Amino acid sequence: MKTRQLGPLTVSAIGLGCMGMSINYGPSPERSELIAFTRKAFDLGVTFFDTAQVYGPFTNEDLVGEALQPLRDEVVIATKFGFDINTDDPRARSISSRPDLIRSSTEASLRRLRTDHIDLLYQHRVDPTVPIEDVAGTVKELIDEGKVLSFGLSEAGADTIRRAHAVQPVAAVQNEYSLWARDPEPEVLPTCEELGIGFVPWSPLGQGFLTGTVGSTDTFTDDDIRSRFPRFTPQALAANQPIVDLVHDVATSANATPAQVALAWLLSRGQSIVPIPGTRKLHRLEENIAAADIDLSDDDLRRLDEATAGFSVTGARGSGHEHYG
């Protein structure tokens, strides 16, 4: 697969978001199947794998660590700190980036990931009670100690990115970005480009909506996170269906699938953009990876850009409480 740069890190142009293997999208396959699936992703060219302490919590890091242990020197692993999780009741958690918690969380992540270093360590969500300079300074210390190679931010705004970068260079920013979530474009993307920071879109396929596999009348079970997302109410799905119709039309003309069009559009937005679609199905993995080799025509790109830029999406993105810190 083609590669791209996230600061000092060389990664596959499309990574693998591992969250859905453990939580949020209904019952997971057997652990042995997921380990084999993760290693198959590497065989197909993926070298960038994204997890987090809070996914599970803890179980996803452990899964990714076991799966990638034999491949450790050939892959880039990203994980995240930023939540104070009650170990007696893991559902009880709060945003926290206290320096002592960053350190203890990182040590625990290293153990679960079965490694002596984390390639890319993100602050998962900005903590308004801890100055970002203190967060960046703590990560800088971990980098100096060799426990972390590079620093990232998630759901951060332009000012936060600049302040953090002045203390410890930021390698990557991970915010939601897709054809129906273009919020990073006015300020965050230009800031990343100016400072030489990579950008990692989470939910690049709109939690499946942009693939055309989610019907406008679909409902979701309680163990599917989309059941709580404002953009996945039947009313919102119906109102946003024109985006899916557009992607489908472009896919037909490009001899591609809607998922591939959505990913190829993201890749066209900048040379340091690395989407991390998540899946647990091999045929979807192969489909997503193939998007790295699709070049959409200028007409198709312009059509997608203009139509979605002028479209008023119904429903708040993510949980409905997402905002740049």
What is the domain-level CATH number for residue 29?
3.20.20.100
pLDDT per position as a tens digit, 254-265: 999 999 999 999
Indicate if the pLDDT at residue 113 is higher than 80.
Answer: yes
* 29 domain residue, yes or no: yes
Helix (H, G, I), strand (E, B) or coil at 150: strand
pLDDT at res. 277: 98
pLDDT per position as a tens digit, 270-320: 999 999 999 999 999 999 999 999 999 999 999 999 999 999 999 999 999
* 317 domain residue, yes or no: no
pLDDT at res. 145: 98
pLDDT at res. 87: 78
CA atoms within a 13 Å half-sphere pointing along the CA-CB vector of 143: 20
pLDDT at res. 210: 98
Q: Model confidence at 321, in pLDDT bands (50, 70, 90)?
A: confident
Angstrom distance (rounded) from CA 156 to CA 258: 29
Would you please indicate which residues are annotated as catalytic (active-site) residues? 55
CA atoms within a 13 Å half-sphere pointing along the CA-CB vector of 105: 28
Indicate if the pLDDT at residue 80 is higher than 80.
Answer: yes
Edge-first strand listing for the sheet containing 170-176: 16-17, 48-50, 76-81, 118-123, 148-154, 170-176, 198-202
* 319 domain residue, yes or no: no
pLDDT at res. 219: 86
* 287 domain residue, yes or no: yes
Q: What is 6-43 written as a DSSP string?
A: ETTEEEESS-EE-GGGTSSBSS---HHHHHHHHHHHHH
pLDDT at res. 117: 98
Q: State which amino acid sits at residue 101.
A: L
pLDDT at res. 215: 87
The number of distinct structural domains making up the chain is: 1
- Asked if 194 and 158 touch (Cβ cutoff 8 Å), the reply is no
Quick one: how far is CA 23 from the chain centroid?
14
Indicate if the pLDDT at residue 190 is higher than 90.
Answer: yes
Q: What is the mean pLDDT of the chain?
A: 97
* 325 domain residue, yes or no: no
Angstrom distance (rounded) from CA 83 to CA 102: 9
Angstrom distance (rounded) from CA 52 to CA 296: 33
Angle separating helix axes 188-195 and 158-167, nearest 10 degrees: 20
* 225 domain residue, yes or no: yes
Beta-bridge partner residues of 78? 50, 120
Indicate if the pLDDT at residue 90 is higher than 80.
Answer: no
pLDDT at res. 7: 97
Range of the domain at 146: 3-309
Q: What is 164-222 written as a DSSP string?
A: HHHHS-EEEEEEE-BTTB-TTTTTHHHHHHHHT-EEEEESTTGGGGGGT-S-TT----T
pLDDT at res. 249: 98
Indicate if the pLDDT at residue 248 is higher than 80.
Answer: yes
* 324 domain residue, yes or no: no
* 318 domain residue, yes or no: no
Q: State which amino acid sits at residue 75.
A: V
pLDDT at res. 198: 98
Q: What is the mean pLDDT of the segment spanning 93-115?
A: 97
pLDDT at res. 290: 98
Q: What percent of the chain shows pLDDT beyond 70?
A: 100
Q: State pTM to two decimals.
A: 0.97
